[in-house]
Structure formats: C-alpha cells, structure tokens
Chain A
Amino acid sequence: MEELNCETVFTLPVLGGISESVVVTWIIMAVLVIASIILVRNLKVENPGKVQLALEAGLGWAQDFFEGIIGKENRRYIPYLITVLLFLAASNTIAPLIGFKPPTKDLNVTAALAIMSMCLIEYSGIHRNGMKHWIKHFAQPVPVVAPIMILEVVIRPLSLCMRLFGNMLAGFVVMELIKTVVPLLVPIPVSFYFDIFDGLLQAYVFVFLTALFMNEEME
C-alpha cells in the first residue's frame, strides 16, 4: 500500500512538507516549458518545417475545439484551457512513460485544478454579464432554485475534481495490482488502456467540461 501514499520529498521550514506530486508537477512543468522553447525556436511564416506543422496542427485543433464551445469572442480563456489540457495529458500519462506516480492521483492536485476551474467559470460569467447579472442568475428561472444554483457553484468543481482523482487513482491501483500479480508482458496492453487511453480521455473530459460550464455561465 505504500505506492498509494504521496510521500513527502522534503520539508521547507515555513511551508511544511513538499509532497511527491508537487515535485513531479515541477518536473512536468520544466519538461513542457523546455519542450515548447525547443519546438518554438525556428518558427517561420513561409515554408514551415514538419515539426512546426505538427505543432500548429495540434494547437490549431485545440483552439478550434475550444472556440467551438465558448465562442470566438471568448478567445482569451483558450490559452489557460490549452495549458490545463497539456498538463493533464502529461501528468496522466507520466506513469508508463517515465515512471513517476501521476500527480493527478493526489487529491491536492485535482482539487487545485478544480478550484482554478471554478474561479475561471465564475470569473468568465461575471466578466461577461456583470456582477448584478451574476448575482441575479442564481434566482432564475424561479427563486426557489436559488439554493441548488448556489450549490452548483461548488458541485461543478467538486465533480471535476473527484472524477479526475477517482479515475486516476483507480487506474493507478489496478495497474499496481496487475504489476504485482503478473509482472511480465500482461501489464503492457492494460497500461495502454488505464494509463494512456483513460489518462488522455480524462484530460479531454476535464477541459471539455470546464469550457462547457464557462459557456453555460456566460449565457
């Protein structure tokens, strides 16, 4: 069971224990930033190379995808959603690729992501329609639903957080069990399903639902 624990890597004097997931997040951040610096080095308007074309195709797909959900007039939120998508894709698939425990298996990470999403969802609604409209919309269509609407503010990020956490933890536990029982060959196809496929799917679902909630809030 010690695999399930998030070990404290080191302890800072004021902040306290720094857990494993935070360190892995730092590593992922460093890898992502260095990779993007390397990939973005020689961008050309004319005659782009294969790497640049792949990069543009990927980012173009992501931008079109988010634009289709939250609309062209809310383009400013797209970079954050792409960041979350990249971070989740990297952290969910890091277990079979590099061997670290995925940070998303830690409740702190998914909670942080979900709270950021909640702030973004509510902020986008307030920014678009104003504070008054944001307060009023809790009483619509009838004032009776106001408690449910207020609960929804908390429920939406909670469901995001728990869905991601549950999926990743379950996948991790299943993978650990299989590795313990049959350490040879069998974990490979199973890992493709639980780590790669489920990891990418959960990353997609997380940003998709965040964008969907934002769109709902901005109406």
Chain B
Amino acid sequence: MLQFNFNFVLEMINLIVLFLLLRHFLIGPVTNIMEKRKALIESGLKNAQDAQDDAMKMKKEYEEALNGAKQESVAIIEKARSQAKSEYDRIVGEAGEKAGSIIESAKESVRVGRENTMKELQSQIAGLAVASAAKIVGGKAEDQDVYAQFLKEVGETDEDTDR
C-alpha cells in the first residue's frame, strides 16, 4: 500500500493533460464568456452615460435657444412699436401740414376773390366818379343830394374794404 513506483510519473502526465484539456474545454470558454459579458455591461453603461450627457447638452442648447428667442421677440416688438410710432407721427404731421396748406389755399382764394371784388368795385367807383364828374360838369352841380349820395356810397364801400 505504500509502494512508490513508476505510476507517479504517469500521474504527473495525467495531471498535465487534464490541466490542458480543462483549460481548453472548461475554464477558457467560461472565462471568455464572463469577460465578454463584463465588456458588454461596461460598454452598455458607458453608452447610457454618453446618451445622458448628450441629452443634457441638448437640453442646455434648447434652453439657450429659447432664451434667445424670447429676447429676440421682445426686441422685435420693441422695434415694431417704435416704427409704428414714427409712422404715426409722420402721418399725423403730414395730415397737419396738408390741413394747413388747404387752409392756406382757402385763405388765398378768399383773398384773391376779395381783391377781384375790390378791383371791380374800384373800377365801378371810378366809373361812377367819372359819371358823377360828368354830371357835375354837365349839370353844374344842380343837385346836392347826388353828392351826398355819392359820398355816402363811396364811404360805405371804403368801410367795407377796410373791414
């Protein structure tokens, strides 16, 4: 039972062969699979982290864009308001000017009309004066009433013109 013989060399060879076989058939494949799964999980975690980072970055960008849009809209409204105001001012000013010019032209036409009337009147007066003078020369101033009437007429026209 305690013999020590050549079988011990055979056992060592057996052990080496068993080691090679098990490494090839059992430990190698299983370790390989476990490493692969580990790599898969690690890459999955990394992908998730990357996706989260991307999402956060995009959110920040959107927020910035939204902020910019708000400011821009405020600026646009402000600009439109100022434009509308200047347009309003211009239109009101133009209307005022136009009204002024219309009044001016109305005044002018009134003045022209009056001048024409006055000229007519003057020519009539001159005619009258000539007629009256001829009368006076012809009739030797026989009627005082004619003078008086004439003077009165002239005075009245004068007063009218002065007014």
Could you tell me the distance between the alpha carbons of A113 and B16 in the complex, rounded to whole angstroms? 10
Could you tell me the distance between the alpha carbons of A36 and B29 in the complex, rounded to whole angstroms? 10
Contact B26 A40 (CB under 8 A): yes
Contact A40 B36 (CB under 8 A): no
Nearest B residue (CB) for A63:
B31
Contact A113 B15 (CB under 8 A): yes
Give the number of chain A interface residues (Cβ < 8 Å). 49
Contact B4 A29 (CB under 8 A): no
Nearest A residue (CB) for B10:
A22
Give the number of chain B interface residues (Cβ < 8 Å). 33
Nearest A residue (CB) for B20:
A83
A5 CB–B CB distance under 8 Å = yes
B1 CB–A CB distance under 8 Å = yes
Collect the chain B residues with CB atoms within 8 Å of residue A113's CB.
11, 15
Collect the chain B residues with CB atoms within 8 Å of residue A116's CB.
12, 15-16
Collect the chain A residues with CB atoms within 8 Å of residue B18's CB.
29, 32-33, 83, 87
Which secondary structure characterizes the binding site on chain A? helix
A26 CB–B CB distance under 8 Å = yes
Which secondary structure characterizes the binding site on chain B? helix
Contact A22 B11 (CB under 8 A): yes
Nearest B residue (CB) for A35:
B26
Collect the chain B residues with CB atoms within 8 Å of residue A86's CB.
22
- The answer to whether residues A106 and B15 also contact, given A6-B1, A59-B27 and a CB cut-off of 8 A, is no
B1-40 contacts to A (CB < 8 Å): 1-12, 14-19, 21-23, 25-31, 33-34, 36-37, 40
Contact B30 A43 (CB under 8 A): yes
A113 vs chain B, min Cβ distance (A): 7
Collect the chain B residues with CB atoms within 8 Å of residue A150's CB.
none
Interface pairs (26), CB distance under 8 Å = A16-B5, A21-B7, A21-B11, A22-B7, A29-B14, A36-B25, A43-B29, A45-B36, A45-B40, A46-B40, A55-B30, A56-B33, A56-B34, A63-B31, A78-B27, A79-B19, A79-B27, A83-B19, A86-B22, A107-B3, A109-B11, A112-B9, A112-B11, A112-B12, A112-B15, A116-B16
Going nearest first, the 9 A-B pairs with the smallest beta carbon separation are: A36-B26, A112-B11, A108-B8, A112-B12, A108-B7, A83-B19, A4-B1, A36-B25, A79-B23
Supplied contacts A52-B33, A59-B30, 9 more A-B pairs, CB within 8 Å: A4-B1, A6-B7, A40-B29, A40-B30, A43-B33, A56-B30, A83-B19, A107-B3, A115-B12
